[in-house]
Chains A and B, each alone.
Chain A
């Protein structure tokens, strides 16, 4: 019993930290993007203010919005919060980690996406439908690509449990591994598509024909919009933490370790998130938005890279 309480505490700290950091990360991304475009950019804390403002406003519902439309934001936010809290951020082996391996995390994200797409179709406007249709098309390629990346990582250890994979990566000497590199590229492409960044989707757009995520949530307002926005901020934390934990697990604290390694872990994690966000901003500024139908080629590429990585490993491992 002596270990249980600190373990639960650790899990709660992770829940709190990911939620606290999520808007900050989005703020950093917007600020960096602004600076790179020679603008001043919004203040880094602006996303917190936006969320607070939205929470204070009244929620306007379309006349024929059903209960799915009202419950979806809560569920989407809760699922993404849970998924982000299950990824190793600053520590591994927290008490909930056996509940969900990498495939289950993909499943959780798929549940959130399923609900969001339904919410988009609920009011019966053409924009909601366009967003839902595009989101599901993108997901139909991004999800298998992500699963291929997971296969590649899992093939090293024949398990999809995240702590085992991290242990494996930590124990091996650093070196260039082809499958690893392919999986990393593929996962980054998936993350860009799933978090709705340029070149797949533009988080700042309200130009009708190019939007995907924004089209689905067009009818949302007030607290509902705040929850959906916060969920997409959490998604960014989720993907950056996942990439950092699996491909650069250095600095992760073991949950049984004491306070000092945990503090180091938190600091390293924040550093990784910052680096990832800045890299993302540079990438976003450097590239143009694609046509919607080019996205299929982009993600098809990610899927093939993932498959290639998996096959390389299959071939190179002895039975």
Chain B
């Protein structure tokens, strides 16, 4: 089982290595390499994903370990698959299959395929290896491998100056996150170097070491996941990559970071104080609201999607934080509920975010534009893509009967059980987090009405949008698969919650209360997470009844009403204007929201410059937004780093004697530190 996943990862690595060789061997054989890489990746991911699914639904409860004679001398590389890693492997490979199939079509439109083909399978292999790692070295190695592969993919289109900057910022943040994890594992392993996860689990750190290591892990995994305030790189780097890679980065790589966080918080750190849950909850609520507000201010379709990833990571963190505080207070049933919500949202967000990035890629292929102000009316030109993206937009806006609603519903159910908590901080904090979650869900609705409405509806705002052509069958096929999954999980959420039962039981100690004694047919139909007769949601019933009612309405109206129809010019209160720029644009759509929320969060200022009568210069309207996180954290940090670099500059011009002296002093200092620690 473990070996199958490992073999799949190795195959992916080999594909990456083979691609340039085939391309290099014979000119004109680019297509062979292209097909080999994408179809091979799809097959490898399919195998690995099926194994992970079989692990979850099969009666297999024991984990499987493997020790490879690789790595550092005293610790061979440890690999292990348990229910938690199987769940994340399932998410990685499900989207991996879709992205590979999509890439089969989309990859043809990439400018320099030789900059994508070798690294795409390598990136997938890295994301498969992280959940398998069972010691700190293997984990970090796989983590950094994943980071480097994705960094190379971000630079695939390196000739654009913006992308070079994106690559630099991404590199800095990845190095920062990697360093935090490295130090965190170092602290957790202690002076004896217990880097095997089993040792960490057996002897969790205590006292200051626990606090420092958890803070470092939160920084390390949070920076990769895009948690506010460590998110600054994400909306720059994710959209810079080709769209199928953006989908993997936003939909899956952030989830691998969440995997790291869950592994450390719920598995390796023993029993945590409730304070850590409160920290995660607060960061989650902040990420959720800020992420969606950023997205609402954005006009670039892919950047908008990247910001919305920050929002969804926030929703996942809210679930994880609630699970931690319930667990710390011994409320295991409620902790299981919150963790189920968080892990279900991991899958759901991976599905609809990848679907939407695929849609953005399709729009980019068809029109060459990412900026919504240059799009419009694409529903007529790309009817199938439009329908599929609409499913994704509705799912991410948490609308029933799609999957996003189910995980947010479960999170809300966890929030309303907050009064069981004894701490006063949480009794005030949990409802506020609930309100912020509700606010972010509602704003996400506005955000995706805007994204879909401006891109696909209305009239085209550029000639390219007016002449767009529907994308090929591979791209549409991948999107269709994801859209169907969004609907199926929304209608029958038990399909996803049942495989999660073992994961939650392993991490919390008890499964979801409703699943404690098996699943009855009624529970497939009515999702009642805590006990039957309490809060329940019947996705399938709502869906079927809605279909029946809609069919009845259509039949009734067509029987009773006039069925005559006429096409005519738009009415528009009597003043239709043929110019497409008179339509509501993306920035005009968000203007009321900018006024309501933006003045507070972004200190948004609108400046209107109207020329005097008789003056021929054009009128100008400018909106100024100030990114609060960038100005309060990053800008001072950059100044500080530059200042320190200037101060440290003389160290570059020392004589050899002085260098030797520095090395000697450093050695003495470290030896003293080690002696003191022992």
Contacts and interface: CB of A to CB of B under 8 A. Distances in A.
Interface stretch (B212-220, B232-240, B431-439, B496-504): B431-439
B337 to A, nearest CB: 11
A56 interface: yes
Nearest to A122: B457
Nearest to B528: A98
Contact of A82 (B438, B545, B573): B545
Given A160-B413, A160-B416, A62 B553 contact: no
A68 B417 CA distance: 39
A118 B562 contact: no
B583 A118 contact: no
B557 A132 contact: no
Contact of A218 (B442, B528, B572, B591): B572
Contact of B449 (A130, A132, A293): A132
A139 to B, nearest CB: 6
Given A61-B565, A66-B379, A124-B457, A151 B416 contact: yes
B526 interface: yes
A144 B546 contact: no
A236 interface: no
B601 to A, nearest CB: 13
B265 to A, nearest CB: 23
B263 to A, nearest CB: 30
Contact of A140 (B399, B443, B453, B573): B443
A68 B354 CA distance: 23
B441 interface: yes
B545 A314 contact: no
Interface residues on B, range: 35 or more
Interface stretch (A41-49, A221-229, A268-276): A221-229
Given A101-B535, A111-B394, A122-B458, A77 B553 contact: yes
B457 A66 contact: yes
A124 B458 contact: yes
A101 B537 contact: yes
B660 interface: no
Contacts of A77: 553
A78 interface: yes
Contacts of A66: 379-380, 457
Contact of A143 (B379, B442, B526): B442
A108 interface: yes
Contacts of A315: 424, 427-428
Interface residues of A, number: 90
B400 A107 contact: yes
A182 interface: no
A285 to B, nearest CB: 27
Interface string A109-147: 011011001100111111111101110110111111001
Interface string B573-584: 100110010111
Given A56-B562, A144-B435, A223 B557 contact: yes
A126 B572 CA distance: 8
B584 A311 contact: no
Interface in A75-103: 75, 77-79, 81-82, 96, 98-101, 103
A133 B549 CA distance: 29
A147 B458 contact: no
Interface string B212-250: 000000000000000000000000000000000000000
Q: Among A57, A78, A96, A99, which residue has the most Cβ atoms of chain B within 10 A?
A: A99
Interface stretch (B44-52, B68-76, B592-600): B592-600
A99 B526 contact: yes
B438 A60 contact: no
Contacts of B567: 60-63, 65
Contacts of A122: 379, 453, 457-458
Contacts of A114: 394, 397, 399, 445, 449
Contacts of B528: 98
Contacts of B569: 62-63
A319 B390 CA distance: 43
Interface in B510-528: 526, 528
A50 interface: no
B386 to A, nearest CB: 8
Given A56-B561, A99-B541, A144-B442, A121 B457 contact: yes
Contacts of B409: 103-104, 107
Interface string A297-319: 00010010011001101110101
Contacts of A107: 398-400, 405, 409
A154 interface: yes
B49 to A, nearest CB: 30
Interface in B532-566: 533-538, 541-542, 545-546, 549-550, 552-554, 557, 560-562, 564-566
Contact of B584 (A78, A121, A317): A121
B588 A133 contact: yes
Contacts of B457: 66, 68, 118, 121-122, 124
Contacts of B549: 15, 78, 81-82
A140 B584 contact: no
A227 B562 contact: no
B459 interface: yes
A61 to B, nearest CB: 5
B562 A136 contact: no
A314 B435 CA distance: 13
B582 A74 contact: no
Given A121-B457, A158-B419, A223-B562, A132 B592 contact: no
B412 interface: yes
Contacts of A137: 446, 592-593, 596
Contacts of A151: 415-416, 431, 434
Counting from the closest, the 6 A-B pairs by CB-CB distance are: A129-B584, A124-B458, A121-B453, A58-B564, A99-B538, A144-B438
20 contacts: A60-B568, A61-B567, A62-B570, A64-B570, A68-B390, A98-B528, A110-B397, A124-B580, A125-B570, A126-B583, A136-B449, A136-B450, A136-B593, A137-B596, A139-B445, A142-B442, A164-B534, A222-B561, A296-B595, A319-B422
Given A101-B537, A126-B584, 8 more contacts: A77-B553, A107-B405, A127-B573, A129-B453, A130-B584, A154-B535, A300-B596, A315-B424
Interface of B: 376-377, 379-380, 383, 390, 394, 397-400, 405, 409, 412-413, 415-422, 424, 427-428, 430-432, 434-435, 438-439, 441-443, 445-446, 449-450, 452-454, 457-459, 526, 528, 530, 533-538, 541-542, 545-546, 549-550, 552-554, 557, 560-562, 564-573, 576-577, 580, 582-584, 588-593, 595-596
